[in-house]
Amino acid sequence: MREVDIAVVGAGPAGLAATLACGESGAATLLVDYMDAPGGQLIKQTHKFFGSERQFAGTRGIQIPAIFMDRLSKMPNVALMWGANASGYYADSGVLTLEDGSKFVKVKAKRVIIATGAAEKPLAFENNDLPGVYGAGAVQTLMNVHGVKPGDRVLMVGSGNIGLIVSYQLIQAGVEVVALVEAAGCIGGYLVHAAKLRRAGVPILTSHTVVRALGEETVRGAVVAQVDQSWQVIPGSEREVACDVICLAVGLTPLVDMMWQAGCEMKYVPALGGHVPVRDENMRASNPAVYVAGDSGGVEEASSAMISGEIAGISAATSLGFEVKEADARLSRLKADLTAIRSGPTGEKICAGIKCATVCGGEW
Amino acid sequence: MAGREKTADGSIVICRCEDITLSEIRDLIAQGYHTIDEIKRVSRAGMGPCQGRTCRQLIARELAAALGVPIEQVEMPTFRPPSRPVLLSTIARGEADE
Amino acid sequence: MYSHFAQGREDSGRPLGRLRPNVVRLKDHPILEFPTGREVEFTFNGKEIEGIEGEPIAAALHAAGVRILRHSPKLGRARGFFCAIGTCSSCLMTVDGVPNVRVCTEPLKQGMVVETQEGHGHLPID
């Protein structure tokens, strides 16, 4: 059986950053991802990043995987496995099971960093399973990665940053966004994104939701309705909208199956998207062999993912006795960066959520 | 919209993998199945290829509403590997390097 | 880049029954440049379609106007993809006789035989 010091599951921004930190420490590191190439959600992200230079400010998401790979590919102690799906973690033996094509591979790892990201939340409405009802990530993948128009007229559901940004990307690709509906009374994402949509003539309907998809076997329209403050549909407010895509951007839920399998203490934190592992300030879970990084620890964004990934990588490596130069200073700076990213009005809820998910006193 | 065409029947699908609708879930809860695990075992919701990734949260929400508890009190089912379907031939073939 | 898709081709001399792609391949995107790969042919329910080698089968189908990928086992409801990233399992189709292939991540190859999956599909018996 293959043995490594540290296995990193998921090669999105968090996993890439974690692997780089582990690689730099000299630990024998394995990075796996079920896609054929690294990047996770970065491969769809055409917008320029905010934040500091350390978080690639000014760089587009799509350019970032190559920057990491340039360094990782030169590290002899770092192994990369693409097209390999990690489907199980056995806590008693520290074994990770992978499917590599048609081969079943077991890897014994002293430490595992779970960076599996998050998945689209579904929405329950009539005919919600019709072809043409797509997650926002799917619409982004189709457009930005494969260069295919998702449709001609899109109804966007959800006004968080993803809903706003994907709507704008649709317009850039020449697709009409017939409306954006948001069940809450106010827009969830940054107003700068919403302003761009308004200028492009997209109606943003707050206190509205989709109640029915129309069409026999594919989406041909939707029924939207106004909702009250308890999210109940106001009778008589239903309206039909012609569209061929209903795009759901109603949030993400952390993908944490392996954390449950590992017996980690979990907590339901709505602000972070659902169940997340309880962790200390260095991203270690209650099972001391397991670390969490990126969206699977709580849905935020790529910049935060890269920082928590680096924190997890440094911590996992030092816990095994590998030397990371100026570890303490780096950790302090990274944690300060996270605090900075999380400051501001939208960050407040995240901060509260993270506190909920962090063990008291920040240490086990 | 002109030329009203036949439209899908208005079912709300909770488990896409096993074709379980919202009304079925509500029926089961009314019959006394009060945990995600029980609902899974009797209906197969959550046993399909996506292993509950899509339906688990929706079922949890229904349970929370029906039982009048906050969603964090809804018990999660046991998570066992594999979290994604694996062909039996892959396992039977054994390990790559042993 | 994909101009032949945009124009459609009346005089192509292609066999009858070929699905003509809609104007869905993106050109002139303000930021992105889409990779050009080798054009390959495959069949969908017996009809010939063109796609780009290596792109997900679902993307090639979508570009050809095909959104219904299967009918569900119990209720026979039409399904397409949902997450397009290989996690939700909505997009299962039969490819080269093998059922339950996630076409949103499966790369397209020349000559693939892609079929709408009805229910659970049929296992190939060899």
Q: Show residues of chain C in contact with B55, CB under 8 Å.
A: none
Q: Going along chain C, which residue ranges are E strands? A: 39-44, 47-52, 70-71, 78-79, 92-95, 98-102, 113-115, 117-118
> What value does the CA radius of gyration of chain A take, rounded to a whole number of Å?
21
Chain B neighbours (≥3 Cβ pairs under 8 A) are A, C
Rounded Cα–Cα distance for residues C54 and A194 (Å): 36
Mean pLDDT for C3-16 is 28
Written in H, E and C, the secondary structure of C9-36 is CCCCCCCCCCCCCCCCECCCCCCCCCCC
Closest CB to C89: pick one of B19, B21, B50.
B50
pLDDT of res. A44: 84
A126: helix, coil or strand?
A: strand
Kindly state whether A174 is in contact with chain C, defined as any CB-CB distance less than 8 angstroms. yes
Which residues are registered as beta bridge partners of A267? A276
The pLDDT of B50-70, averaged and rounded, is: 92
Q: How far is A338 from chain B (nearest CA, A)?
A: 27
Number of Cβ within a 10 Å radius of residue C19: 15
Residue C15 has pLDDT above 60, yes or no: no
Angle at which helix B55-67 crosses helix B36-43, to 10 degrees, equals: 120
Helix (H, G, I), strand (E, B) or coil at C117: strand
Find the closest chain B residue to C100 by CA distance. B49
User: Which of A272, A246, A274 is CA-nearest to residue A181?
Assistant: A246
**pLDDT tens column, C54-91:** 999 999 999 999 999 999 998 999 999 999 888 888 99
**Rounded CA gap, A311 and A282, in Å?**
6
Q: Is the Cβ pair A103, B95 closer than 8 Å?
A: yes
Residue of C nearest to B53 (CA): C88
Residue of C nearest to B83 (CA): C87
CB contact under 8 A, C77 and A129: yes
pLDDT tens-place string over residues B68-94: 999 989 988 888 888 888 877 777 776
Identity of the residue numbered B85: P
Å between C73 CA and nearest CA of chain A? 14
| C67 CA: distance to closest CA in chain A (Å) | 6
Find out whether A264 and A285 touch, Cβ atoms under 8 Å. Answer: yes
- Chain C's closest residue to A148, CA to CA, is C25
Is A148 in contact with C26 (Cβ distance < 8 A)?
yes
**pLDDT, one tens digit for every residue, chain A (364 residues):** 899 999 999 999 999 999 999 999 999 999 999 998 999 999 888 777 766 777 788 888 889 999 999 999 999 999 999 999 998 999 999 999 998 877 889 999 999 999 999 999 999 999 999 999 999 999 999 988 888 999 999 999 999 999 999 999 999 888 999 999 999 999 998 899 999 999 999 999 999 999 999 999 999 999 999 999 988 999 999 999 999 999 999 999 999 999 999 999 999 999 999 999 999 999 999 999 999 999 999 999 899 999 999 999 999 999 999 999 999 999 999 999 999 989 877 788 999 999 999 998 888 8
Chain B residues inside the 8 Å CB shell of A108: none
Amino acid type, B20:
I
Contact A214 B71 (CB under 8 A): no
Confidence at residue C115, expressed as pLDDT on a 0 to 100 scale: 96
Looking at residue C33, what is its pLDDT? 66
Residue A153's pLDDT is what?
A: 97
The reported pLDDT for the residue numbered B95 is 64
**Residue A40 sits at the chain C interface (C-beta within 8 Å):** no
User: Which residues lie closer than 8 Å to A168 by C-beta, 6 or more apart?
Assistant: A193, A196, A197, A200
From chain C, pick out residues whose CB is under 8 angstroms from the CB of A142. Answer: 59, 62, 84
Q: What is the pLDDT of residue C26?
A: 76
Is the pLDDT assigned to residue C5 strictly greater than 50? Answer: no
Q: Is B50 close to C87, i.e. CB distance below 8 A?
A: yes
The one-letter amino acid at B92: A
- Is residue A210 within a helix (H) or strand (E), and if so which, with residue range? strand A208-214
Separation between Cα atoms, residue B70 and residue C104, nearest integer Å: 36
Q: Are strands A290-292 and A2-9 parallel, antiparallel or unpaired?
A: unpaired
- Which residue type does A192 have? V
Question: B14, B57, B75, B83: which to substitute to probe chain A, counting the most A Cβ within 10 Å?
Answer: B83
What are the φ/ψ torsions at residue C101 (nearest 5 degrees)? Answer: -90, 130
Q: How confident is the model at residue C10 (pLDDT cuts 50, 70, 90)?
A: very low
pLDDT, average across residues C2-12: 28
- State residue A283 phi and psi, 5-degree precision: 70, 20
Output b/e per residue, A336-357; b: 16+ Cβ within 10 A. ebbeebbeeeebeebeebbebb
Q: Is the pLDDT of residue C11 over 70?
A: no
pLDDT of residue C126: 62
Angle made by CA atoms C45, C47, C53, in degrees to the nearest 5 = 95
Question: Which residue of chain C is at minimal alpha-carbon distance from B21?
Answer: C75
CA C55, CA C51: separation in Å to the nearest integer?
8
Contact across the interface for B49 and C78, Cβ inside 8 Å? no
Q: Which of A327, A272, A328, A329 is nearest to A305 (CA)?
A: A272
Q: Is residue A261 left, alpha or beta, with left meaning phi > 0 and alpha meaning psi from -120 to 50? A: alpha
| Upstream peptide bond of B82 is cis (omega within 30 degrees of 0) | yes
Split at pLDDT 50, 70, 90, the class of C34 is low
Task: List CB contacts (< 8 A) between C88 and chain B.
Answer: 16, 50, 53-54
Which of A120, A142, A168 would best serve as a mutation to test chain C binding (most C beta carbons within 10 A)?
A142
Q: Which residues of B touch C118 (CB under 8 A)?
A: none
Residues 6+ apart with CB under 8 A from A42: A12, A13, A61, A62, A64, A65, A302
pLDDT, tens digit (0-9, with 9 covering 90-100), for B22-47:
999 999 999 999 999 999 999 999 88
State whether C88 and B53 contact (CB < 8 Å).
yes
**Model ipTM value:** 0.87
Residues of A in contact with B79 (CB under 8 A): 257, 260-261
- Quote the minimal CA–CA distance from A364 to chain C in Å: 33
